Structure 1
Amino acid sequence: MITSSTWRSGKVSVRLLLTLWKSADEHITKTEAGELGSAVNSYIELICADHSVTPCFNTFYEYLRDVYRKDMEKRDIKVTLSDFNINNLLTTLKQYYRGGRYDFLLNSDKNIDLLSKRFIVFGN
């Protein structure tokens, strides 16, 4: 689970986000990993500067959708969708966003102890 303190400390895992995005047989390029890492770092800078933003997956998703995507379009060196398909990323991660079927996993303000559960299934 990605908690508020995890976002603030910068310990959120780009690897976790890549795992949620790509299947095991899909290749992750350096550009994809780099852009996602840059997005996480920019989001952390935002939540450190603006304490009205609640650090959680929902606000990270909104940041990717509303801010980071537009910032990518304004760059001198363009990142094409074939280099980093942010639309595909957003579509894939939408199930973990507010109202999605897995929105409770990454947006809780409490730690969920999955180790105490007898049987857990994560699937598509």
Structure 2
Amino acid sequence: MTGAEQGQSDTAGEPVAMTRPAIAPELRLRLASGLRIVTLIGMVFLIVGTVVSLVQVGDLPRATVPPSELPERLLALDAPAIVSLGFLTILLAPVYGLISLAYGCLRQRDRFYAAAAGLVLTILVLSVVIALVTRGA
């Protein structure tokens, strides 16, 4: 094994960086466009909910709606429910991004980045679960 293969230096005496190849450009573009779309959908819900509230009540929504009540209240075009759906959509964008990244990396057989995305997703989900459990205690 030469010095360059060990990461010490190349023939000119410069250190050689041992780097992993970057995530494929097509995966990055697909991930970026997906996150952009999810975020825009969330923003549309926020804007529509705000407009509906201004038209119906003449004021901005002041409270969010629990997820268990969303379906019923969305069918009734309840402004706070529409705004709550917008918040939930934007909050779920990182989860969508991590799942998409892990899946895309697995399809490209890049286990390192897939495992990193899976680890971050696991930490994110566990933090939500711990927060819900400790809040109820």
TM range (shorter): 0.3 to 0.5
* Higher Cα Rg, which structure: 2
Given the two structures, how large is their TM-score scaled by the length of structure 1?
A: 0.33
The structure carrying a bigger helix percent of its residues is 2
Given the two structures, how large is their TM-score scaled by the length of structure 2?
A: 0.31
